Amino acid sequence: MRWLVIFVLLIIAGFLQGCSTLEKRINKAKVVARENPNSFASFCVESFPVKEKFIKGKDSIVIDTLIQEKIVKVPVIIKGDTTYVDVKCPKATTVYKTVVRIDTVIKEDTAKLADLRQQIDKSNKDYKEKDLSLQKALKSSTSRLYWIIGLAILALLAIVIIFKK
């Protein structure tokens, strides 16, 4: 008999152990995440991978033209004297052609998307509940209005009948 009571108590304890609310389980998960951030991060990466989309850009050519005009001092020796004369060099034109392409990488945060989808679902559910309660309130208010109008008519009839006699 004693073993039966112990067995029943163990079964009840097992059932009560499994009856934790969602909020308690989330809090336990947060504690585990704080204690083991690396394993939690790897779990999140597996559950919510970042999706990348590559958009190839168009090539564009950038042309830069550089025109240089240089003045050089040239030594000139006249009768043993050295003087410097400024000599203008011909214009040097350099053209740089650069091909530029800007590619775009779009990264999609699936964890954030999942969270936003949950918020949307919750908002839709709340909206439906509010709409149902509004419809019920409108029905009850219209029925009350009809009752009030009916009672007012009956009261007027009663007053008319009393004053006619």
> What is the mean pLDDT of each successive set of 10 residues along the chain, which is 165 residues long?
66 62 79 81 78 85 84 79 80 85 85 84 93 92 92 91 84
pLDDT value for 151: 93
pLDDT value for 10: 65
Please, which residues bridge with residue 107 across strands?
52
pLDDT value for 134: 93
- Residue with tokens 């203008």, as numbered in its chain: 88
Beta-sheet strands, E only, within the chain: 50-55, 59-68, 71-78, 81-88, 92-101, 104-109
pLDDT value for 129: 94
pLDDT value for 5: 65
Q: How many angstroms separate the CA atoms of 129 and 123, rounded? A: 10
